[in-house]
Structure 1
Amino acid sequence: MAIPSLQDGIDKAGSPIKLLWKPGAAPWTPEVVEREYAGWRQEQAAWHEGVALLNLSHHMFDMWIEGPDATRLLADHGVNNFENFALGQAKQYVPVTKDGNIVTDGILAREAENKYLLSGIPAAQHWVQYHAEKGGYDVAFATDASSAFRQGGGDPKLFRYQIQGPLAKDVVERAFGGPLPETKFFHSAPVALDGRHFRALRHGMAGQAGFEFIGPWEHAAYVHEAFLKAGEPFGLVQVGALAYTTPSVESGWIPSPVPGIYSDPGLREYREQLALFGIEGQRPLNGSYFSEDIEDYYASPYELGYGKMISFRHDFLGRDALVKAKEAVRRTKVTLVFDADDVRELIGRGQDPGFVLTYARHRVENVNGLVGMTMQTASIDPVGTVLSLTLIDTAYAEPGTEVWVVWGEHPGPGTDPEADLGLPRVRATVRPAPFNQHARTLYRRNA
């Protein structure tokens, strides 16, 4: 029996929206790791005020790309500049469709002259592999799915541990017996613990300094225990699945934009090769914002804040569309700070709502009507309220602008997208994205 494709699912449902629309869908959280260790509030506080240990080993999808055409393939299908891509360096890789809409982003690390590792949500990997095979590029692929989707179970090929927060450097130096090699942001250096060799990537989250350590799974348990012991004097806190999802809201990274692949007739063959029960067919849409047109959910790299990553010094799929889009960016990425009283009264129904997390697209309005939609919303305890990464019409993106967020679920197809459903409206104020001042200034400038 043939495995159903994404196109099969769209055809059966009647439209991409009818396939993806799932009111009340539970938000994704990382697989395998505990939901909470010390409690989500304490875990968030750890990377703001102390030091936190995060386990990224199980929810990342990895794809190795190797061969004489590896660089050409990635450059042909990504907006990034590949001219000075050093060995050991990583970049946020941004592939787009011919219309200039993002597919999704991923972390691309250069491991050797003709070998790269692309990690993250697998939509980017699917896109790159499809075009490699269709275009006859001389490359080979090896993949390792996330633990939730790894066929036959088993362990990951790699461990990934992050140490983050103001005390991260102290913990790392205690673990390794001294400072790590001086490394630029998003560059890595080889390191070792008691003869176990792996890499240290200069990293950071929510504006705080930190490191990501990546190495063979056979060393995972030893390295993890070594970090726990080194962190004891500094009050190191392990971060669970709930808190792990939230730093992106502060650092300004939108984790799962809708891939711009569902409506172009020219991509039918691509959709026919994608599994229905993969990320492209199963990542739900929901919230108070609703449109029958899937293209209303697409986003350009400019809207997501990736404009500085776009290099027009090379030709790539979608280049012409992005040249035109550069002068007509309709929406801006901002942070919405929810009114704390409204959060308690309207979201918590008179009480502390506890942990709030949603990737729902909620309507953002002012007196003129619809002006934007949320992309990810979460409780940020050190801030004392809920924050939301949002795409808003550029005219209303000025910090200090007051708006409302319509909180609730539109039922979807069959109901007018503009219907007044009597949903509560939470007051919110526009702030920059990244929200964290350090992330917005020093952290970005040092990249």
Structure 2
Amino acid sequence: MTTPSLQDGIDKAGSPVGLLWQPGAEPWTPEVVDREFAGWRVEQRAWHEGVALLDLSHHMFDLWIEGPDATRVLAEYGANNFERFAVGQAKQYVPVTRQGHIVTDGILSREGENAYLLSGIPAAQHWVQYHAEKGGYDVSFFTDPSSAFRPGGGDPKLFRYQIQGPGALELIGKVFGSAIPETKFFHSTPVTLEGRAFKALRHGMAGQAGYEFIGPWEHAAAVHEAFLAAGAPLGLVQVGALAYATPSVESGWVPSPVPGIYSDPGLAEYRAWLPLFGIEGKRPLNGSFFSEDIEDYYVSPFELGYGKMIHFGHDFHGRDALLKAKEDPGLRKKVTLVLDPDDVRRVIGGGEDPGFHLSYARHRVESSTGLVGVTMQAATIDPVGTVLAQTLVAPSHARPGTEVAVVWGEHPGPGTAPDADLGLPRIRATVQPSPFDRHARTEYRRDA
């Protein structure tokens, strides 16, 4: 039996939006990890006020890329600068289509002269592997899916534990007996713990000090236990799946933008290569913002704040489109919306305490002039006391302090006009900078 492709799914549904639109879709949270350990509020506060342990071992796909043409294929299908990409360094990889729409980012680390590891949502990995195979590049691939999709179950190839928060460096010093050598942001340094060798990547999830420890799964239990034991006197908090999904709202990273691959006739072969039951065919769209045109959901890397990562000093797929987009005054701006707490209680419910809320829905953002933006992710942030939403808005409404309204609810999808009056409630909101977290916006971004 032939496995259905993404293009098969689009053809059967009648359109990309028809395939992806799922009103009321449950928001994604990391697989395998407990939903809560100490409670989502305590866990959110830990990386602001104490020290937190986050387990990133199970929910990402890993793609190892090796061979003489590894750098060439990554550079030709990604917008990043590869001229000074050191072994042990990592970058946020930015692949784009020929129209300049992002495919979806990933974390790319250089493991050797001709060896890389691309981690995260597998859309970027699919993009690189397809073009490498089609173009005959001298490169090989090995994929380790996330734990929810690993055939036959089994353990990951790597463990990933992140130690984060104001107390992170103190805990790390206790575990290793001394401080880790000073490491630049997104660079790694080798470490050993009782004879076990792995690496420490200088990285943080919400703008706080921290490291991500990455190594062979055979060492996972021992490393995890060492951090728990040393962290107990410091009040170490393990972070569960609910709280883990929220730091991006503060740090300004937009997870899983819609890949710009569904409409270009030149990518029909690519869509036929992709499986239907993958991220490109199953990541749902929902919310109060609806359009029959999938291109209304595409985003530019400039809108996501990735302009500094784009290197025009080399030829790459989509370069000409990005050169034009760079000068486009109409590109939306990434901001944080702070939703009015009283309206949140009124609309989302829960009385005095609306509890935890997480959404990847695309909600309409309006002013008195009509539609001015769309939300990309929203979550309750307990230290703030309300829901924050990462949002793309028109430049005219991007100034901090601007008041807008979020249309909260679900459009039914195809068959109903995009601007139909559905009687959905409005939540007042105020525009603030993105990243919202001051540390992420200043020191963290400066170090990056």
TM over 0.5: yes
Equivalent pairs counted in the alignment come to 447
Displacement after TM superposition at 1:349 (Å):
5.5
Superposition pairs for residues 30-429 of structure 1, below 5 Å?
30-328=30-328, 329-348=330-349, 350-429=351-430
Displacement after TM superposition at 1:350 (Å):
3.5
Deviation track 1:323-365 (CA, whole Å, cap 9, x = no partner) reads: 0011114201100000111111111153421000000000000
**Structure 1: gaps (5+ residues):** none
Deviation track 1:84-137 (CA, whole Å, cap 9, x = no partner) reads: 001100000000000000000000000100000000000000000000011111
Partner of 1:433: 434
Q: Aligned partners of 1:350 and 1:215: how far apart in 2? A: 45
**Structure 2: gaps (5+ residues):** none
Displacement after TM superposition at 1:206 (Å):
1.4
Q: Aligned partners of 1:432 and 1:137: how far apart in 2? A: 42
User: What's the TM-score, normalizing by structure 1?
Assistant: 0.99
Displacement after TM superposition at 1:70 (Å):
0.5
Secondary structure of the structure 2 residue equivalent to 1:180 = coil
Counterpart amino acid of residue 309 in structure 1:
M
Determine what percentage of the aligned residue pairs are the same residue: 78
Counterpart amino acid of residue 229 in structure 2:
K
Counterpart amino acid of residue 398 in structure 1:
R
Q: Aligned partners of 2:200 and 2:386: how far apart in 1? A: 34
Counterpart amino acid of residue 364 in structure 2:
R
Q: Aligned partners of 1:226 and 1:196: how far apart in 2? A: 12
Task: Indicate if the aligned counterparts of 1:345 and 1:351 stay in contact, CA closer than 8 A.
Answer: no
Task: Indicate if the aligned counterparts of 1:374 and 1:388 stay in contact, CA closer than 8 A.
Answer: yes
Structure 1 consecutive aligned stretches of length 4 or more whose deviation exceeds 4 Å = none
Q: Aligned partners of 2:164 and 2:303: how far apart in 1? A: 28
Q: Aligned partners of 2:109 and 2:118: how far apart in 1? A: 6
Quick check: 1:13 aligned with 2:10?
no
Q: Aligned partners of 1:310 and 1:434: how far apart in 2? A: 19
Deviation track 1:198-221 (CA, whole Å, cap 9, x = no partner) reads: 000001121210000000000000
Deviation track 1:294-328 (CA, whole Å, cap 9, x = no partner) reads: 00000000001001111000000000000001111
- What's the RMSD between the two structures over aligned residues? 0.6
Q: Aligned partners of 1:28 and 1:426: how far apart in 2? A: 23
Partner of 2:25: 25
Counterpart amino acid of residue 362 in structure 2:
R
Counterpart amino acid of residue 183 in structure 2:
T
Counterpart amino acid of residue 348 in structure 1:
G
